[in-house]
Structure formats: C-alpha cells, structure tokens
Chain A
Amino acid sequence: MIDFSRNHFALFGLPERFAIDAPALDAAYRRLQAEVHPDRHAADTDAERRVALQSSARLNEAYGALKTPLTRAQYLLALHAVDAIDERDTSLDLDFLERQLARREAADAANVAADVDALDALHAEALAEVRALEATLARDLDRDGADFAAARPRVRELAFLVRLADSLDAMIAAHD
C-alpha cells in the first residue's frame, strides 16, 4: 500500500530536485512495484486487488513523470503552481523561435532531399541544445530560493527542442 497523498518525489524517497539520482529512482520504482503490483496480490480479495491496481498505476504515473528531464521539469514547476505548458500562453523568445523555425525548414529540406547526414547533424545539434538547457535548468531550479516562474520559458524551450529532436529521429528512421 502506498501513500497516495505524497508527491512523486516523496513517493520514491527522493529530494525535490531537477538533477536526479536516476539509479536510485529506478531502484525505488522496482522495489515499490515489487510490493504493490497486482501480480503480488493475485490471490487477495477483490478490494485488495483494486488497491494493488491503483497503487501500481500510480507508481507508473509517478515514474513516468520523473524519468525524463522534460516531464520532471514540468512536474517540479507544477509543484510550485507554475503551469509550464499553458495553452493560452504560447509565447516564446523571438530569437529562439526564429532559430527553431530556420532549423525546422532545414530539417524539412534535408528530409525531402533524403540527406540523412544533414538530418543526423541537425539531430545532434538539437540534442546538444537539449543537454545544455537541462544543465541550465538544473542550475536554476536546484538553487536555494529558485524562481520557478522565471524558469518557465526555459522549460517551454526544452519541450520545443525535445519535440524537434523526436521528429528528426522519426525522419532519420524513415530513411533507414
């Protein structure tokens, strides 16, 4: 039985930080699933099996949110009442936007030309920027008195870049 009132970090016994101890997260997830998973309660009463199902689903949700840096950043902001991906506010830094639009165009051109090397290069570039943004976020979010609302544009940029990297990945795969 897990405590449904705890947040994702507390559930796994981890500090509320962006930089995360991934092996500790994996280990805590596996340890808790080993306790609550429905398979461990196959012979229990209906009510106990329902609790097992809900607990296990809750762990999957929490693990999914903390596992990747983007979802982790969004969750951290949400814990501090900042909605990172607010549909009504789609503003992005103009320079950033222009750079990404140019990159999108380059990607589309390389895709049409089936230029896998160019796609690979763009992909590597996008991933490098993702890593750099993650480092910035770790610095901004994990310091004392961090301003979570101020980090919002970085998280939105990260979301944008991750989506770009994913679509580049899909384009590269399609040329395999």
Chain B
Amino acid sequence: MALLQIAEPDASPAPHERKRAIGIDLGTTNSLVATVRHGLAVVLPDVDGRPLVPSIVRYGEEGVSTGYAAMAKQALDPHNTIVSAKRLMGRGLADLDDERRFPYRFVDAPGMVRIGTRAGVKSPVEISADLLRALRERGEASLGGTIDGAVVTVPAYFDEAQRQATKDAARLAGLPILRLLNEPTAAAIAYGLDNAAEGVYAVYDLGGGTFDISILRLAKGVFEVLATSGDTALGGDDFDHRVFCWIIEASKLPPPSAADARLLLVKARVAKEQLTLHDEIPIVARLADGTPVDLVLTRATLTEITANLVAKTLLPVKRALRDAKLAASDVKGVVLVGGATRMPQVRRAVAEFFGQPPLTNLDPDEVVALGAAIQANKLVGNREDDDWLLLDVTPLSLGLETMGGLVEKVVPRNSTIPVARAQEFTTFKDGQSAMAIHVVQGEREKVVDCRSLARFELRGIPPMAAGAARVRVTFAVDADGLLEVSAREEASGVAAQVTVKPSYGLTDGEIARMLQDSFAHAADDMRARALAEEQVEADRIMEATTSALAADGDLVAADERARIDEALATVARLRAGSDHAALRAANATLNRITEPFAARRMDRGVKRVLTGRRVDALSD
C-alpha cells in the first residue's frame, strides 16, 4: 500500500510526529480520559488534579456544565441535572420499570426515552455526547491539539442498541471513534502489557451496579477473550444496602422515611469504604425525629453480612470458566476492576477461589481507561515496541425465530468476532412467496424469553413446493460487536438485508434474568422445545393429509377414511395439550395410517406425469 500513502500525503504523518489518541471510560457514576505518553498510559486529570469526572450533565441557565460543576448544583436543580445517563442509553420508557426513581421529566419517544430540560428535549445519546465533549476537550487541552482517534469502553454485556447509542454519542461529540472496547478487555490490556505476561487471565469487575467476569488468553501478543459472563443486578450498591439494613436492625428502627433512608445509606457507604482501611468504624447519625443512631460496625460483621453477595459473584465466574473449558487453577493472574473490589473480603474470596492473590498494582478505578488509551494509541497508528492484537467475543447468543416460536441459534455466545455465519431455512407451505425473518438475542430456547432485535421480510420467493426453497440467512458481527443480517433465496437470488439497529435494547435486569433463567430453566426449555417441535410436525402432517384428501379423496375407501379421520382428530386434540410424548405417538400413528394412501397418490402422480409427456411429445 506504499503507493496509496504517496498519493495521500496528508494521511501519513511525518515519522516523528505522534498522533493524538485518547481512551475514554464512559462510566455510570464516573468517567475518565487517558492517553499514552512516553510509552506509558496515564489518566488525564483536571486543573485541580482530579482524575475522575462525575458522569453528570447539567443544562443550566448559563449553559451546559459537566462533572463536579454539574454535581454541585444537583440538589438545587434536579430536573435539569442528569445523573447516570448511561443507564438510559438505548432504552425505551417501557424498559425503565423504576422510572420514578429518576427525578427527570421523561418524554416517551419511539426507540429511546427522552428527557425534558431547560435546554429542550434531550436524548441519552445527546446527554452522553455532552459528557464526551468535555472529556474530549480535556484530552485536547492536555495533548495540545485535535484528537486523531478515540476508543470508548462499554460493559461486556451491552447489547446492540446500547453499543450503537454509545457510538452515536461519540460521533455527536466530535470524537473520531476507532472502536468500542469491552471494559474487562480494556482492563486486561492495561495489565497484560504492563506485566508483559503470557497465559490465561481473569478480569473480575465489580462496579457500582453490575458484575462482569471475563476470561482471556494472552499469547504471542494476541489477547483472546475466551468467555465472558456476569450479573447485571449485583454491585457495590448492594453492599451499601446490606449495611443499611444492618443499621436499621441493630438500632431497632421502624421503617425509615425517604430522607432518613438517604441519610443512612450515605452513612452505610462511608462505613463500608472506611472498613477497607480500618478494623471497625463508628456509625453516628440523628434521624429527622431526633432518634439517635450510635453503632460500631466491625470488619468482621461487614464480612459476615455481605458473605452471600461475595459468593454470588463466584457463580458467573464458574460459568465463564466452564464456557472457556478451563479450571480456576489454569488462571495465571486475576485483574480487579471497580471500586468495590477494594473491599478486603472481596479480595480474599477471589484469592481463595483462584488460589492466588489478585493483581492490584493498578488503580481499579483507572485501569479500564488506561487499557482504552493503550488500544487507541495502537489503532491510531502510533508504533510502539510491543506488538499485540485483541480478539473479542459476542456476549450473548444471536439467533432466529423458527416454527413453533423456537430459537435457532446462529451465532452462539462467546464466538470470536468478527464472525459470519449462515444457516439455511426452507418454506413451510406450497407456493409460499415471503418469509419473515425475526432476529433475537439471548440464551433461552423460546422466542418469547429472548430479546427481539429486528424483523424483516424476504419477499418475491418464486412459487415452489413446501421445502423446496433454500433461504440462506447470514449473520455478520463486526469487530465492534454490531450485527448485520441478510437473507437470500438461493435458487432465485431474491435477497433482503437489515443492519440491526433495534429501537431499544435489553434492560440490565433483563440480561441478568435471561442469563439466569436459561440455566434455571434448561429442563423446562427442553420439554417446551420437544413439544413445540411435535406441534410443528402435527401441523405439517394435518395440513398434508387434509390437502391430500381434498385432492385425491377418491383413492380412500370408507373404512380407511374413518381411520384417517380418527387419527387426525387425535392429533388435533393432543396438539392443543402439553404432552409431547403422546403427541409424538399420535403423529407417528397418523403417518403410518396414511402411508398406503400416500403410495397410491404417488402412483397416480406418476401416471399423470407420463400422460402429460405423451401429450407434449405428440404436440411437438
């Protein structure tokens, strides 16, 4: 490609000139921006030396403010001060079962929810873009010029809609986005390169509201994500809540008012954080009615009341290891991400499970941004001595709806991306001219239990007998994890395609529930699948028998007809029930009884064709 570079001198900078690249950790609570300087990844602080930017945007009378400035006015102007816009990315109003928890003026809109502010109606994408713009400006001020490339991180469990919304926000903020990067993967990059290690690594990411685990293999400069799992309804906030409940119980308080509850939750969080450094901590407060709270919480008690939360994080860890076909002892190092991993009981549990102390030489709040900066530096084309590549995976299975409301998985979860997979389907009825393609995401067997991503139709299939058309449906997931689906009838070449931009995606709770359900309901699903398959078969046989009787009913004697009708009625009755074994037996009976009839029809068909030939031959 040397010629190309000569033709486009602007595209290739002078050898000594470095491009300006930044990595952004766009967090729910806090965001960070980092860059690689003199071969080292560093977080860029503000003028006061603070590395974190609270993920808050305020639309004030005097204009837009972000971070600490917006946070200062939060209590005074709650309607116009937007906190945690990340939770709203790619979400419809219907997805927010807890919308009243937010003090915003929500406006329902097709696709994604909007918020009415002083500056007009804003979408979460625009709000995130305002935050990203502030981060971009911090990067530009620090690097002394416009940014050439940026990498923005997303949770591994973000679905299509959330990824697309994040990418849109970056574009809106004027960021030249090179890649969306999964947060745990970013952390592994930050550690892997710092420690110049080879082998299998686990990234244990306990954030404020979610838990993620990723298993990666680093070999010969290639990072390969082997498996990823998590619990999107488990985080540091749950630990605060346990302490809060303990305060109420230990002080024998009645259910607190909203204001008292907020006060005690803050006390609980502070106590939890202090216990990382101290063995015990006093909790002192005075409630609105004057009731005093005066307790001492020890680290031992904290460990005891949060033990089942810590244990809960180990379930997805085991699942991810199983998906990767590895044992805990195969893991060479464990990387901790998220402020909640500072808790000693969490570190101890991780150490016990993996049989080694976790790696802690990087700040768990900064490690994701550092990894993003390293990848941005790489993608923008700044040559460093180390040479490495990242191979990531799809977090959830992608599939299609098939007959009977079942899911045919086309791209299983934890497939390395980019990936292209094709599956062939056929028509169900004679002369069927269109096929509906319904794309879903999730682990369950039935469509209703998965997330609908997109629907489109393949039209113009030429008339053919049932089962003769060959419709090839191709799923292509690019390196950002974004999906495109196309369908094509092979004989006629009729084609249709859709880039999956769903109107809205899964709520975090939904992903957690879907994943947990898929494991809890494996047996139910198998039964449901067996039943649905038999129902499809029943429909097929009944349809075929009925139309055959209509066409060639004269080939059937009266007593034979009575037997067929009886078998048909049995199938129809069991079709409505839930006993798949009985339905299977009935299907088989109907099949057997109609066999002689089918043979006679075949004979007649052959005779017809031969007769036709002769006529054709004569007319030639």
Judge whether A69 is part of the interface by a CB distance below 8 angstroms: no
B45, CB-defined interface residue at 8 Å: no
Encode contact with B along A15-33: 1 for CB under 8 Å, 0 otherwise. Answer: 0000000000011001101
Chain B, range 533-592, C-beta contacts under 8 Å to A: none
- Residue B11 lies at the interface, judged by CB distance under 8 Å to chain A: yes
Our pick among A40, A42, A60, A174 for the contact of B418 (Cβ within 8 Å) is: A60
B391-A33 in contact (CB<8A): yes
- Contact status A57-B418, CB under 8 Å: yes
Collect the chain B residues with CB atoms within 8 Å of residue A33's CB: 222, 389, 391
B248 on the A face (CB < 8 A): no
By CB atoms of chain A within 10 A, which of B222, B315, B318, B415 has the most? Answer: B222
Q: Which listed residue, A37, A111, A169, A176, touches B315 by the CB 8 Å rule?
A: A176
B519 touches A173 (CB 8 A): yes
Within the complex, the shortest CB–CB distance from B13 to chain A, in Å, comes to 11
Contacts of A45 in B (CB 8 A): 4
A48→B415 CA distance, assembly (Å)? 24
Q: Which residues of A contact B522 (CB under 8 A)?
A: 170, 174
- A63's nearest neighbour on chain B, judged by CB, is B416
Instruction: Determine the distance from Cα of A40 to Cα of B381 in the docked complex, in whole angstroms.
Output: 9
A37 contacts B519, C-beta separation under 8 Å = no
Closest to B416 in A: A60
- Cβ–Cβ contact B11 & A39, under 8 A: no
- B residues 422-481 near A (Cβ < 8 Å) are 476, 478-479
Smallest CB gap from A170: residue in B: B522
Cβ of B318: which chain A residues have Cβ within 8 Å of it?
Answer: 173, 176
B20 contacts partner chain A, Cβ-Cβ < 8 Å: no
| List of A residues within 8 angstroms of B418 by Cβ | 38, 53, 56-57, 60
Contact between chains at A34 and B420 (CB < 8 Å): no
**In the complex, what residues of B have CB within 8 A of residue A37's CB?**
389, 391, 479
Residues of A within 8 A of B179 (CB): 39, 42
Q: When A64-B416, A174-B519, A174-B522 are in contact, do A43 and B11 touch as well, CB less than 8 Å?
A: yes
- In the bound complex, residues from chain B placing their C-beta under 8 Å from that of A48 are 1
Please tell me if A125 contacts chain B, counting CB pairs below 8 Å.
Answer: no
CB of B270 within 8 Å of the partner chain: no
B155-189 interface code vs A (CB 8 A; 1 in, 0 out): 00000000000000000000000110000000000
Q: CA of A53 to CA of B482 in the docked complex: distance in angstroms?
A: 12
Tell me the complex Cα distance, A176–B520, Å: 12
B380: which A residues are within 8 A, CB to CB? 42-43
Instruction: Tell me whether A100 is interfacial, beta carbon within 8 Å.
Output: no
Given A33-B389, A38-B418, A173 and B222 contact (CB-CB distance below 8 Å)? no
Question: With the chains together, A174 CA to B319 CA distance in Å?
Answer: 10
Decide: B222 and A39 in contact? CB cutoff 8 A.
Answer: no
- Check if B219 sits within 8 Å of A39, measured CB to CB: no
Is A42's CB under 8 angstroms from B379's CB?
yes
Are A30 and B222 closer than 8 Å at their CB atoms? yes
Q: Does B322 belong to the interface (CB within 8 Å)?
A: yes
- List of B residues within 8 angstroms of A34 by Cβ: 221-222, 387, 389
- Does chain A have a CB within 8 A of B263? no
Would you mind naming 7 contact pairs between A and B with Cβ atoms under 8 Å apart?
A: A30-B389, A38-B478, A44-B1, A60-B417, A60-B418, A173-B322, A176-B315
Known: A30-B389, A33-B222, A176-B315. 5 other contacts (CB 8 A): A27-B220, A53-B478, A60-B416, A63-B416, A174-B519
